[in-house]
Chains A and B, each alone.
Chain A
């Protein structure tokens, strides 16, 4: 198994390298045709950040997520180069930027894949701008990225080292919520899962419940999945999507703060709550 996977790795790595070299050779072929807008993720954003850093406009991390730092850097660039200042990297902006800067795609993607900390300023030897990732596991992650690229068939699809997240929530918060949602409602339809996530969030806002995610989830007796340990099952991507939808403002529960399964509920009290609606097996109530 190992032999095969490392052989594949080699093949793919050379493939990537060739592909990257061809890209960096032709300036005009820099970027794809997309208009890069704030909030975008992916290779074009990596290139945008690297190029802006190359000519000294961007000082943040090259992570492939078009955030505020990139936005201001691009606007400053647009202002200096007499382009309309809109923070959108359209055709004209991309062309001016590509002409004004260098981009060594192979180098940048290699650093990202290895998990190294690096910068890409022009006029400095690039090899001196690397702070290698000392953790030995990095070969593993590189392997993982390669297999995922193999599946995605498009090169470098998963090289992002960061991701967009709704304001006020960390990845770990989302993971915890996804665990709770999965443990509580994995057999339910998708909107039922969004609704369960929404109930947890509604409790955060409610004066009758604790004010932190962990406080709400681990309140004794609040969720059966916590009591019987099912919260520690590994959630699937669907549960995570449901959580992100709920955080972003979708609430199929109709602002509910409670829900229960009428077939298994033991508490008589829960039946006295005003009921809003039923989704799947759960009745949602105030």
Chain B
């Protein structure tokens, strides 16, 4: 009797867990298929977008008039951005897949820059036309390879989840058509980008300049670097010092220094360039509990720090308070012109006015002696280029980097429309509206709104 009951219970348990397992399995499969479909959609979408991209670039080659060329290039730009979006959804980050995305980005930049230009006044020159042709050729190659992969995926019923699994298990050298296919695509593209490096407009200037080429001075030793670091940190001995050199892959030489004040356990970390020993950044991660100083006193502390450390002619242009920390942004002021790319940021603790952080990355990358060009327009003439609805409140001259990555001299106007404030840059020579930005209003804290 008891035996029968036990058997009955056990049978029920087995059947129950079997049923539960089956449910789980079904659910897992449903989710897997869902994820798989998302990948499939992104992939097929990508190959479709590259198809159209190639067609559209082909069309632009045959066009001559501005009225048709500008919209066509804008369309190319839109399609590249969609294709980039698709690439970002594929599980391929750890595969060398960047070149394809870079290629798309290149086409995007080029088509944007030419589409926004007044092609009536300044039509495509021979070099640009040649470049369009080469982009057309590359798009064709990529299209061919992608179609091949696509064909295999459909024919052999390949699943992206298998790629994921292969990546997750680290067995990348297993035979996997999708991975292999994409590696071919990638090789095709990188082959192109090497041959193009002679053309300076091809690689984005932003990337090229990240090596601090403008800084001057002798290479300093580790001991000198430590001495300099201690000067910035203003700590009392004894201090525990750690110093390391940059890795081999860095584009410039630097020392990473970490100082710990034994008495308080405060830690300061910073990077100094080997050449000249300039501080790239500096962080003191002390905890700040209260505010005793106001922002304006703190900004004077920041100015004082800059003076002590030989940063000359810097102009405070932005300040903000985050809890008990004041953040200040300075830019170079040369002959009354604000040089926006030269920016130095400083964090001041509002409890004792000490320097908590310092970032001069942008400054050292762009700072150099500049010959500021003469403005051919007067401020009054520039003002006429501004929308009538804007009430102008402030004006000055400024040097900025525009959409085309060029440094241009501008008149900067601060103006308002109703409650919003705008910063408007008008090119001081061409009168072009280089940049219009709506300045940020404070954002409500949503927790209080609920």
Interface set of A (CB-CB < 8 Å, partner B): 34-42, 59-61, 63, 65, 67-69, 71-72, 75, 88, 90, 115, 133, 135, 137, 141, 144, 160-165, 167-168, 170-171, 189-191, 194, 205-211, 215-216, 219-222, 244-245, 248-252, 254-255, 266-270, 273-279, 283, 285-286
Contacts and interface: CB of A to CB of B under 8 A. Distances in A.
Contacts of B295: 34-37, 39-40
B375 interface: no
A161 B444 contact: yes
B188 interface: no
Contacts of A220: 39, 89-93, 164
B393 interface: yes
Nearest to B206: A205
Given A252-B281, A268-B172, A274 B448 contact: no
A163 B321 CA distance: 9
Contacts of B444: 61, 63, 161-162
Contacts of B207: 206
B221 to A, nearest CB: 19
B359 interface: yes
Interface string B17-50: 0000000000000000000000100000000000
Contacts of B244: 277-278
Contact of B359 (A35, A249, A270): A249
A250 B283 contact: yes
Interface in B237-296: 244, 246-251, 254, 256, 267, 269, 271, 281, 283, 285, 294-296
A191 B257 CA distance: 12
A189 B283 CA distance: 12
A165 to B, nearest CB: 6
Given A141-B448, A171-B446, A285-B249, 16 more contacts: A59-B419, A144-B447, A164-B322, A167-B439, A189-B269, A191-B283, A194-B283, A220-B90, A220-B93, A248-B327, A249-B345, A250-B283, A251-B281, A275-B249, A277-B246, A286-B251
Contacts of A133: 449
A144 B449 CA distance: 13
Interface stretch (B7-15, B56-64, B99-107, B130-138): B99-107
B88 interface: yes
Give 9 closest A-B pairs by Cβ, nearest first: A274-B249, A207-B105, A34-B294, A208-B98, A210-B88, A65-B442, A68-B421, A220-B91, A162-B442
User: What interface size band does chain B fall in?
Assistant: 35 or more
A267 B101 contact: no
Nearest to B285: A190
B336 interface: no
Nearest to B361: A251
A166 to B, nearest CB: 8
Q: Could you tell me the dominant secondary structure of chain A's interface residues?
A: loop
B167 interface: yes
Interface of B: 39, 81, 84-85, 88-96, 98-99, 101-102, 105-106, 109, 164, 167-170, 172, 204, 206-207, 210, 244, 246-251, 254, 256, 267, 269, 271, 281, 283, 285, 294-297, 299, 318-322, 326-327, 343, 345, 347, 357, 359, 361-362, 393, 416, 419, 421, 439-450
Contacts of B285: 190-191
A207 B102 contact: yes
A92 to B, nearest CB: 14
A75 B416 CA distance: 13
Main secondary structure of the interface of B (DSSP, over half): mixed
Contacts of B99: 208
Given A39-B320, A210-B84, A221-B94, A274 B172 contact: no
A254 to B, nearest CB: 6
B91 A164 contact: no
B90 to A, nearest CB: 7
Contacts of B343: 249
Contacts of B89: 219-220
9 contacts: A40-B295, A60-B419, A133-B449, A165-B440, A191-B283, A207-B204, A215-B88, A220-B89, A279-B256
A144 B101 CA distance: 48
B445 A250 contact: no
Given A207-B106, A208-B102, A269-B95, A36 B441 contact: no
A225 to B, nearest CB: 14
Given A41-B321, A215-B88, A267-B167, A161 B448 contact: yes
